[in-house]
A and B are shown apart, each in its own frame.
Chain A
Amino acid sequence: MSDQAKIIALHGGLILLLFALQFVLPAYHHGNLARIMVLASYAIGYNILFGYTGLLSLGHALFFAAGMYGMALSIHHLEWAPAPALLAGLVAGILVSGTLALLALRTTGVAFMIVTLMFAQAGYLTVLYFGEYTRGDEGFVIQQAQRMLWGVDLSDPVNRYFAAWGLLTVCFLAALWLVRHPFGRTLIAIRENEERVRMLGYNTFAHKLTAMMISGTIAAAAGAFYGLLFGYAGASFATVQYSIFPLLWVLLGGAGTVLGPFIGTLFMFYLIDLSSGITTAYMLIAGVALVALTLFAPQGLVGELRRRFWGWLP
């Protein structure tokens, strides 16, 4: 089997498996997987910037929240239908990520982390400041009647699952296509040695700008879907911990792998879910798992698979 065929079989197989699981999973895990698929889409977006371009952002919650509020505010205040509202979320993501990219990409390394972190914090405080419209930290409910997408009730578990699956499939395939495309290869080259790429005549700024906008827009799409599928938008999704989560998911799953973000999100979700049943210090268990993984599998779960067995993994 050629590498190409293996890649198609593995990634296509996962998509089909997730589709099939809809019909067999018990209710609790069915609901969890719908959540995980939306969050994994967020991680896929994050991975494009962090895993493939080598830019560590600590401000992706800003994009996630931009998508969520772009969608939710247009439903709540403008009474838009879900389809244009989702589009509004995407546009908000493009605008916010584009603007932040123009400012933050003037810096590199630690300064880039700090600038993105500060802008995300400013975004969070903006949500609180305009509490009259956003209901601040309390947030607001998107009512069931407002969640009818082309006559399909997104609060229904089956519809929600398929919507989440659809989002993940699009993000997953887009990421797979992107990283095998010359543009994606250039991003990887920038990650490995930006100076050399520039010397070869590439406009690295334009590449990084585009990567950040794609990454931010996918994050915004995930935010918009999350709000719509689960009926709530609130400022807690703009806090710094929602910038850290995708970093953890990607690190756990394997930065710079297409499968990694999904595996990392799945692993972390169930790690917290199961360990919270044992102890209140479940974040400690998550922390220990992360430290252990960093020590013994520094490239994450899928990264380790690639290193040991499947060198062809994209």
Chain B
Amino acid sequence: MTKQIKDTSRRGALKTLAGGVAGAATMPLWARYAQAQTSEPIKIGFQVHRTGIGAAYGRWYGRTTEAAAKLINDNGGINGRMVEIVAEDDGTDPKRGAEVVEKFANQHGCDVGFGTLFSHVVIGSAPRAGELKLPYFVVSEGHHVASGMLNRYTLQPGITDVKSQVQAMAPYVASNLGKKVTMIFPDFAFGHDHRDFFTAAIEAQGGEVLEHIAIPPTETSFTKYFPKIPRETEVLYHVMVGPAVLTFVKELGEFFGPSRPEMFGFIDSLEAVDIASPGLEYLEGTYFWEGNPRHAQADQSDHDKAFRAAVGVNDRGASISDPADVSTYAHMFGCWETLHVIKAGMEASGYQGPGDRAALIEAVEGMTDMPESLAHPQGAKVFNGKTHQVFGHQYISKVEGGTLKRVHTTSIEDTLYPDETDYTTQSF
């Protein structure tokens, strides 16, 4: 009898165990949905350039993202749920980037993906985001979203794109610095965007580009390119990215001496680099595009003040704890603003879980005006739901005594161009 009971119980235990295992295997699926409305955090996959060429940007994108998430959580989260940032390093590589997107969707169970900067990583990852139906909010300033190359699941609501930035510079350059421009740019896609968009924009202002000087990406010395700059050049437009920028500026100084043309550049070259670094003195009196003024201006808004304090950045745009650690101030606000757009979109659509992803995208597509606020400390913006791209003010600063002083703010209208796509016609 005892033996029989023992036998039965063993068999029964095995059966129960097998049933339990089978049940447990299905559990996460329904358990997630059952709990979604109450306690589970909203998981935001943060695709971050922790290593590779984008590491300096990634570090500051990370700090900004953490600060924005903390602010959102301190104010009650999204739809009553806390926000959890799930960060994964993509190595600034498109192959790894696509793998990271798969990790977000299939392993971590993230609600959305977010935060990618470098264009090649965005373009390599976006097809997978579309296939996995994971809303993918990029902070890249590339023209890839608005050009129609990507898909309905990819949006850029927190930072303007290079086409609008570049074309908005032309009116100021033509009327204040000169109409005969020579452009120096790196010979890859980012440089080509500048070449194409600015050339067209300055011609529309009655100016012209005298010479396009493309620098191969492996170049370490630039002196041999400078004799190609025509004598009648009034403005030298430069956009050099990477560690060679210090050499570039030094050699430019040696070539021109005191009688240089006006110079206009994109701060991208000097993100995370102190403008008062030895070797950059030659930039004194030159002009820069800034996505967001790095040095606190005399008329600094309360929102900018609060943004700096939250991220931990001083008035020089460097880390409060280490003044030698200069931020990527012209870009990183994009993470802050994008997270707030995600919050607004989730609240507008009553987002509860992955089943509401399409509704979230439709809610963001429905957005238009984004007034300047703590959620948008860089300035007011206008979102175009058809092209999934946001448009906003751009800033031009002049280096005076080693400080970037804002001399011009473009209107949002200056940055607009005709739609090149309509993502809303694509099905989900």
Interface, chain A (partner B; CB < 8 A): 26-28, 31-32, 35, 125, 128-129, 131-132, 135-142, 144, 155, 157, 230-232, 234-237, 273, 276-277, 280, 282-283
- Report yes or no: A139 in contact with B124, Cβ–Cβ below 8 A: yes
| Apart from the given pairs A131-B192, A135-B189, A141-B150, 13 other A-B contacts in the complex at a CB distance below 8 Å | A125-B216, A128-B217, A138-B189, A139-B94, A155-B131, A231-B131, A232-B98, A232-B124, A236-B93, A236-B120, A236-B124, A237-B95, A283-B51
Shortest CB-to-CB span from B246 to chain A, Å, is 22
Render B51-74 as a binary contact track against A, CB cut-off 8 A, 1 for contact: 100000000000000000000000
Known A32-B99, A136-B188, A137-B188: A234·B51 in contact at CB below 8 Å: no
CA A236 – CA B217 in complex, angstroms? 13
Interface residues of B in 145-178 (CB under 8 A from A): 149-151
In B112-169, the 8 Å CB interface with A consists of: 119-120, 123-124, 126-128, 130-131, 142, 144, 149-151
Give complex CA distance A129, B51 in Å: 26
Give every chain A residue within 8 A of B187 (Cβ-Cβ): 128-129, 131
User: What's the Cα separation between A144 and B51 when bound, in Å?
Assistant: 30
Q: Is B102 an interface residue (CB 8 A)?
A: yes
Number of A-B contacts defined by CB within 8 Å: 93
Contact A236-B94, Cβ < 8 Å, known A137-B188, A138-B123, A138-B189: yes
Q: Are A32 and B102 in contact (CB under 8 A)?
A: yes
Residue from B51, B89, B189 in contact with A137 in the complex, judged by beta carbons closer than 8 Å: B189
Q: Which residue of B lies closest to A35 (CB)?
A: B99
Residues of B within 8 A of A155 (CB): 127, 131
Instruction: For B188, give its contact among A128, A142, A230 (CB under 8 Å).
Output: A128
- B38-61, CB < 8 A from A: 50-51
- B425 within 8 Å of A by Cβ? no
**In whole angstroms, how far apart are the Cα atoms of A132 and B128 in the complex?**
25
For B107, the chain A residues whose CB sits under 8 A away are 28
B218 within 8 A of A: yes
Q: Is the CB of B51 within 8 A of A232?
A: no
B123 touches A139 (CB 8 A): yes
Task: Specify which of B88, B106, B120, B150 is in contact with A276 (CB 8 Å cutoff).
Answer: B88
Q: Which parts of B350-383 form the interface with A (CB within 8 Å)? A: none
Q: A128-B217, A231-B127 are in contact. Are A28 and B95 (CB under 8 A)?
A: no
- B11 CB–A CB distance under 8 Å: no
Which residues of chain B have C-beta atoms less than 8 A from A280's C-beta? 50-51, 89
Looking at the complex, which one of A31, A138, A144, A273 makes contact with B120 (CB distance below 8 Å)? A138
Q: Give the CA-CA distance A157 to B102 in the complex, in Å.
A: 11
Determine if B248 is an interface residue (Cβ-Cβ < 8 Å): no
Shortest C-beta distance, A108 to chain B (Å), equals: 28
Contact residues of B between 266 and 321, Cβ < 8 Å to A: none
Determine if B190 is an interface residue (Cβ-Cβ < 8 Å).
yes
Other-chain residue from A132, A138, A232 in contact with B127 (beta carbon distance below 8 A): A232
Instruction: Name the CB-closest residue of A to B193.
Output: A138
Distance between Cα atoms of A139 and B131 in the complex (Å): 19
Interface size on B, residues (CB 8 A): 36
Bound: A114/B2 CA distance, A: 79
Roughly how many angstroms separate A234 CA and B123 CA in the complex, as a whole number? 9
A282 vs B95: C-alpha distance in the bound complex, in angstroms? 16
Bound Cα distance from A298 to B395, whole angstroms: 58
Does B103 make an interface contact (CB < 8 A)? Answer: yes
Assembly CA distance A125 to B188 (angstroms): 10
Distance, CA A237 to CA B131, complexed state (A): 22
* A157 CA to B142 CA, complexed, in Å: 28
Instruction: Write the chain B residue with the least CB distance to A147.
Output: B127
CB<8 Å pairs between A and B, sample of 15: A27-B105, A28-B106, A128-B217, A131-B188, A135-B189, A138-B120, A140-B123, A141-B149, A234-B124, A235-B120, A236-B93, A237-B95, A276-B89, A282-B89, A283-B51
Near A by CB (< 8 A), chain B positions 76-120 give: 88-89, 93-95, 98-99, 102-103, 105-107, 119-120
Q: Which of B89, B123, B188, B190 contacts A232 (CB 8 A)?
A: B123
Which residues of chain B from 169 to 201 have a CB within 8 Å of any chain A CB? 187-190, 192
| Beta-carbon nearest neighbor of A245 in chain B | B95
Q: How close is B244's CB to chain A, nearest CB, in angstroms? A: 16
B353 smallest CB distance to A (angstroms): 17
Instruction: For A28, give its contact among B102, B124, B190 (CB under 8 Å).
Output: B102
Known: A273-B99, A276-B89. A230 touches B189 (CB 8 A): no
Q: Is the CB of A144 within 8 A of B192?
A: no
Measured in the bound complex, the distance between the Cα atoms of B101 and A28 in whole Å is 10
Q: What 0/1 pattern do residues 198 to 215 of B give for CB contact below 8 A with A?
A: 000000000000000000
**Contact of A137 with B50 at beta-carbon distance under 8 Å, contacts A144-B131, A273-B99, A276-B89 already known:** no
| B149: chain A residues within 8 A (beta carbon) | 140-141
CB distance from B92 to the nearest CB of A (A): 9
Which chain A residue shows the least CB distance to B150?
A: A141
A87 to chain B, nearest CB (A): 22
Instruction: List the B side residues contacting A231 at CB < 8 Å.
Output: 127-128, 131
Q: Which residue of B lies closest to A127 (CB)?
A: B188
CA distance A128 to B188 in the complex (A): 6
Residues of chain A lying within 8 A (CB to CB) of residue B188: 128, 131, 136-138, 235
A232–B419 Cα gap in the complex (Å)?
Answer: 24
Please, which residues of chain A bring their CB within 8 A of the CB of B217?
Answer: 128, 137
How many Å lie between the Cα of A280 and that of B89 in the bound state? 7
B93 touches A141 (CB 8 A): no
Chain A residues near B190 (CB-CB < 8 A)? 137-138
Name the 9 nearest CB pairs between A and B, nearest first: A231-B127, A138-B189, A28-B106, A27-B106, A28-B107, A136-B189, A136-B188, A232-B124, A137-B188
In the bound complex, residues from chain A placing their C-beta under 8 Å from that of B50 are: 280
